[in-house]
Amino acid sequence: MKFLKNAPRFLFFTGKGGVGKTSIACAAALAMTRAGERVLLVSTDPASNVGQVFGVSIGNTPTPLADVPGLTALEIDPEQAAEAYRERVIGPVRGLIPEDEIASMTEQLSGSCTTEIASFNEFTALLTDETIISGFDHVLFDTAPTGHTIRLLQLPGSWTEFLNAGKGDASCLGPLSGLEKQRGVYAGAVEALADPERTRMVLVTRAQHSALTEIARTHTDLAEIGLGNQYVVINGVLPYPGDADPLAKAIYAREQAELAQLPAQLRNLPIEEIELKPVNMVGIKALQTLFSSQPAPTPPATTTQEAVPRAPLAALVDELAKDGHGLIMCMGKGGVGKTTIASAIAVALAQRGHPVHLTTTDPAAHLTETLDGSLVNLRVSRIDPVEATRRYQERVLATKGAALDEQGRAGLVEDLKSPCNEEVAVFQAFSRVIHEASRHFVVVDTAPTGHTLLLLDATGSYHREISRQLGEGTHFTTPLMRLRNPEETKVLLVTLAETTPRLEAEELQEDLERAGIRPWAWVINNSLAAARPRSPLLQQRAGAEINEINMISEAHRRYAIVPMQPGDPVGIDTLAGLTRGQSAPSLR
């Protein structure tokens, strides 16, 4: 493997849910220990399944793996990290200031910014404290810190002074308030991340347009903040399947076309392709085959046809259409096909004669490319984060900045560079869209989960602020109230029939329910099992989906299964085909 040759001390594996970064990280750890290296494998993924992959229980303390001499694993729990972080900030002043101020501080520190920074805080020591890592030759991280986190840590100026002066207006100022005292430690961590002699970034992707586009953006984001030592691993590439299975042949052709036209940002990076294996990467024996150059043995043919529940997307559209209007939000991790599902639902409703506004808050979404045409009753828009942020910054500078001196205004300009401000700006545009849903259908393709939760955090903060200002007994309607009302809003969680995306969707559902928002239905997208392949390799892969599909169908009253398509799901006619079908199984 190219990315393992002359490997530095630290390796970070990053990528969307479902691309196999945990498998790649675990297989890399095995390869290094077989070479006699001592390895610490660290997961900062909230849906971590490192323990599941190795078949052992791993917690938030380093755990040696008895079956793999030289390998120690550690799973950082982001929620525990966030709670500990909040306590470090709030604990010293508890009992010294009024309870309402404590409540306000807790609220400030309850968002996704806090969770992200707290997770970074947990593994900072693994980058800077030699007493902790002296026993290891390499430290491997499953999930790298995002460009968002590192930009926060690189913001210049004094955060504490900025807070105390009341000059800030960013949603991340609460989390930042706890960072000042550790500025030197964080500076050392960022320096280690940017040092190619010490750190390598491994960008894990699939041979799919959306995944490759996402990883190209990740490359640019990380390079802009000094993390230039990058390798690309394209996982799960289908080997040539022959002509017996039209589906396998179409998938192969589609993947090869994507590989032939890689995004320009990736072409000059070292690239490794890893062939799709017939089994899931669970257990040491399976992991040891992942990097093998030997072709996998052809598995015996299996059948999954009878095992897949009949749950067409058309049945969900039938239910949605009965309301005549409303907000429909497609949510989930990047790479699960939210844009496709949102577009298919919008097309189906418009073809039934309903006025529909299809919009996106996802900076990576390309609705016009997905639709590839126009349709009567369908209006398409995009909440452009860049434009929304520019307008927000101008408005803040014209209001809060007007009364500041030169130094204060310079500090405000610095603060407005924070990526958290983008969430606030997008929320304001999103709020305007919500109100349209009382007149017609509004279908929203939301940003990846972390961004979406920040947006909902802003929604919740707005709701609480309005409540405080207007007082008891005053009638008002906030965006959060609309999102909580099942008569006005239907949230569809889009996922894949794979372990990591399912766990991430379950975590998202829990987060939404804590905000008082109950998801209406689940959509299992791009199911190989539902497509009923003939290829023995794909049949083996399809069989692995059945357990995931059953877990979702048993846990959720409403769900739909969308089969994997032979070609890209692009164009009005193709999208309309996703919502044709017979009625779903009876809802329990």
Q: 3-class secondary structure for 374-423?
A: CCCCEEECCCCHHHHHHHHHHHHHHHHHHHCCHHHHHHHHHHCCCCHHHH
Q: How many CB atoms lie within 10 A of CB 134?
A: 7
C-alpha atoms less than 13 angstroms from C-alpha of 49 in its C-beta half-sphere: 21
The residues that are catalytic are 18, 20-23, 45, 500
Edge-to-edge, what's the strand order for the sheet holding 559-563?
378-380, 356-360, 441-445, 326-331, 489-495, 521-527, 559-563
Beta bridge partners of 94: 97
Q: What is the DSSP letter of 168?
A: -
CB-based contact 454:419 (threshold 8 Å): no
- C-alpha Rg value of the chain to the nearest Å: 24
User: What's the rounded Cα separation, in Å, for the pair 205 and 209?
Assistant: 10
Q: What is the DSSP letter of 301?
A: P
CB-based contact 457:112 (threshold 8 Å): yes
> What is the distance of C-alpha 24 from the center of its chain?
18
Name the 3-class secondary structure at 104.
helix
Task: With CA atoms as reference, report the closest residue to 145 among 186, 173, 91, 103.
Answer: 186
What lies within 8 Å, CB to CB, of 151 at 6+ separation is 225, 417, 418, 419
Which amino acid is it at 506? Answer: E
Where helices occur in 35-177 by DSSP H, the ranges are: 50-54, 78-90, 99-108, 112-128, 130-133, 147-154, 159-164, 173-176
